[in-house]
Structure 1
Amino acid sequence: MGAAKIWDDAMEAKEEARSESNGSFEILSSSLSVDTSLSLPAMKPRIIELCKDIFKKWSNFDASCFSVETVSGGITNLLLKVTVKEENGIEESVTVRLYGPNTDYVINRERELVAIRYLSAAGFGAKLLAIFGNGMVQSFINARTLTPSDMREPKLAAEIAKQLRKFHEVEIPGSREPQLWIDVSKFFEKASKLTFDDDQKRKKYESISFKEIQSEINELKIVGDRINAPVVFSHNDLLSGNIMLNEEEGKLYIIDFEYGSYNYRGFDLGNHFNEYAGYDCDYSLYPSKEEQYHFFKHYLQPDAPHEACLNHKLNTVPSSDLDALYVETNTFMLASHLYWALWALIQAKMSPIDFDYLGYFFLRYNEYKRQKQEALSLANSYLCLTNS
């Protein structure tokens, strides 16, 4: 799917969102695209042209009025901060998010655009201002992204838990069927049919047993279905880079909903805990049971003050609820590893970004195999106990 198709999908989602709010919802648009392979200096005039095309109040401004800087360049998107100095001397900033090339193989952009409207109205993320051929423009959030080590700090972990619970309570139009196994199946189909010209990549890829992976998916799905986890609208990618903090205001922001969908609650929680390891995949940093229970208490009682937990006053959360959520989370933690391992194989073929996606596959899949026995034994023991 090229930029034109993404544009068509965006227009369809825009019209759907507008009709649902009786004409009160409006986002700006442009048919322009920006080549993400360009260096920042080469990209700058194109970004300026895009902003002038979208925001008519800037259309006659000289290029010297614009500054463009990189906010972050992850392994999926490129975020740019565009600051415009207006005639009255006031500066206004927006964020331009450029989709990574070929990311439509793994991301449903239509679903994302519909979700943004409702999540933004509920106070999550940046406000969607405009869409264009291969990206979107959002309001600029004056905050820093967290690091993996930030997420395990007790006070921040408590706030993330509260925000995630409220995130899960947002109602998004569309199918409420959990997407986990649907997406895993799609990823598996694409990942198992790849070819690589590079000899080193081909040898690594050919060492993978897709028959084994399919068996692992089938086994895990059986246990996951028995858990009967609640289905909520999930972020599905709550890593440190998708959480921002304004330290002066003490305000936390959950951002970037491109992988968002209705999904099993335990997947969102387990996936978040896996991200304590960071891109280096140091899984010794996976949260302990005590750290997880601290998170769960605030997730289950999002309106309780942080001090209550520190003073052990959140004991009104039944231990049975904590135990159940622990089993649910650590079962779907395994699914998170399979999901991103298969995702990484597709990216190894499709993405032009300089990242060792094949190596990332093995890190995730090997961790899945390392954790599997303990996590599934815990789940099966719990299910036997509760069903007896």
Structure 2
Amino acid sequence: MDASVQQIPYSSLTVDHTLPVPDMKPSLVKLCKDLFKKWSNLDESHFFAERVSGGITNLLLKVSVKEQNGNTVHVTVRLYGPNTEYVINRERELQAIHYLSAAGFGAKLLGVFGNGMVQSFIHARTLEPVDLRKPKLAAEIAKQLKRFHQVEIPGSKEPQLWIDIFKFYERASTLAFDDLDKQKKYETISFKEVHTELINLKDLTGRLNAPVVFSHNDLLSGNLMLNDDEDKLYIIDFEYGSYSYRGFDIGNHFNEYAGYDCDYTLYPNKDEQYHFFRNYLQPETPDKVSEKDLKLLYVETSCYMLASHLYWALWALIQAKMSPIDFDYLGYFFLRYNEYKKQKETCLSWAESYLSGPRPKPKPKPKPE
């Protein structure tokens, strides 16, 4: 691991995420004292804990510490969901956080422990899916995402998308459920069909030559925060981050307009997408983006939007087996896979039409004087 990451305080302690927050408090106090020696002499009355949010992967807690000088410091404690190592590369995440934080993204990493991390507290509200389609906010997300994609993370630049998807496929296609109803539902899935879809989509997207960037890969509303007073947007939580394709990060974000309920009538229309693309491609002069560049990104995003459905559909099957969180992951697989099948023909025909169309002619070399 990168030396700068190794300098972050580490504790082997764990916190039981299944407990109510008041019952977690003794463990949280012990953890904070172990990680941050300046708090080691404070008694429990100086510590306050509350739940901030809990997605379908992690639990976020706000811990406030009243120091001896009377100042109150706030930190965020993020507890990993159990068995998330099946779908998340934690070492990759920790390395990325260091460089992304230095570039001004997310919260600062303060400490790492047995089943989570401690970060600086961001004074902002978490966005809702309905916020994503607001034009001003969509433009700001696009500009921030462009800047995010320009951050250099050391190590291999090999895109991980298809490596991760096929890894998910291997795990998702060999599950067995104790619950008979779940098992019956699971057995209705044709993994042979899914595999064929993966191969075909991988081949098609490969022909698009999409730029490879360090991608967030999970840019849902819950991973965006806004300080309304300062009008400042924060991109947070990089646990799925990796080098991947530009179009995947954008297409995946557009899928998240639908929220966990998967209401895909909320997917951005072409005008809304072009508004986002303009601010992404040329943040300073969005009105100067060429029609050709908009069309290319539209096709690229539409194809990788399909890949996003397959990625999270397979992820959901693994979570259905591994996660104790009360969420219908198995149902989520079908919502994502069915939407993939619904959109496939349209998106693939756009791509084929674009790829078979006239290619730009090389510019003639200038004649010698």
- TM-score by shorter chain over 0.5: yes
Supply the AA of the counterpart residue of 2:68: E
2:367 aligned residue: none
Could you tell me how far 1:321 is from its partner in structure 2?
Answer: 0.2
Could you tell me how far 1:40 is from its partner in structure 2?
Answer: 1.4
Distance 1:64 1:87 in 2: 12
Distance 1:386 1:103 in 2: 46
**What percentage of residue pairs aligned between the two structures are identical?**
72
Segments ≥4 residues shifted beyond 3 Å = none
1:379 aligned residue: 351
Determine if the alignment matches structure 1 residue 207 to structure 2 residue 188.
Answer: yes
Could you tell me how far 1:27 is from its partner in structure 2?
Answer: 1.4
Contact 2:282/2:288, CA 8 A, preserved across alignment? no
Supply the AA of the counterpart residue of 1:337: H
Instruction: Summarize the alignment of residues 104-253 of structure 1 with structure 2, pairs less than 5 Å apart.
Output: 104-253=85-234
1:27 aligned residue: 8
Supply the AA of the counterpart residue of 1:239: L
Q: Return the TM-score normalized by structure 1.
A: 0.91
For residues 262-290 of structure 1, the C-alpha deviation after alignment (integer angstroms, 9 at most, x for no partner) is 00100000000000000000000000000
Match of 1:50 among 21, 25, 31: 31
2:303 aligned residue: 331
| Cα 1:51/1:379, change in 2 over 3 Å | same
1:345 aligned residue: 317
Local SS of the residue matching 2:30: helix
Q: Return the TM-score normalized by structure 2.
A: 0.96
Match of 2:326 among 354, 361, 366: 354
Contact 1:17/1:114, CA 8 A, preserved across alignment? no
1:96 aligned residue: 77
* Aligned alpha-carbon RMSD (Å): 1.1
Instruction: Summarize the alignment of residues 283-302 of structure 1 with structure 2, pairs less than 5 Å apart.
Output: 283-302=264-283
Local SS of the residue matching 2:262: coil
Could you tell me how far 1:174 is from its partner in structure 2?
Answer: 1.4
| Cα 1:85/1:340, change in 2 over 3 Å | same
Distance 1:386 1:115 in 2: 40
Which segments of 5 or more consecutive residues in structure 1 lack a partner in the other structure? 1-12, 20-24, 305-313
Could you tell me how far 1:386 is from its partner in structure 2?
Answer: 3.8
Distance 2:294 2:148 in 1: 20
Distance 2:358 2:277 in 1: 20
Instruction: Summarize the alignment of residues 258-297 of structure 1 with structure 2, pairs less than 5 Å apart.
Output: 258-297=239-278
Contact 1:17/1:117, CA 8 A, preserved across alignment? no
2:44 aligned residue: 63
Determine if the alignment matches structure 1 residue 84 to structure 2 residue 69.
Answer: no
Distance 1:338 1:84 in 2: 43
Could you tell me how far 1:303 is from its partner in structure 2?
Answer: 2.8
1:18 aligned residue: 4
Distance 1:32 1:206 in 2: 40
Could you tell me how far 1:43 is from its partner in structure 2?
Answer: 1.0
Could you tell me how far 1:42 is from its partner in structure 2?
Answer: 1.4
Could you tell me how far 1:387 is from its partner in structure 2?
Answer: 4.0
Local SS of the residue matching 1:227: coil
Supply the AA of the counterpart residue of 1:257: F
Supply the AA of the counterpart residue of 2:96: A
For residues 46-87 of structure 1, the C-alpha deviation after alignment (integer angstroms, 9 at most, x for no partner) is 011100111111111111111100111110011100001112
Determine if the alignment matches structure 1 residue 303 to structure 2 residue 275.
Answer: no
| Cα 1:386/1:63, change in 2 over 3 Å | farther
Distance 1:17 1:329 in 2: 36
Supply the AA of the counterpart residue of 2:281: L
Distance 1:17 1:295 in 2: 37
Distance 1:17 1:200 in 2: 48
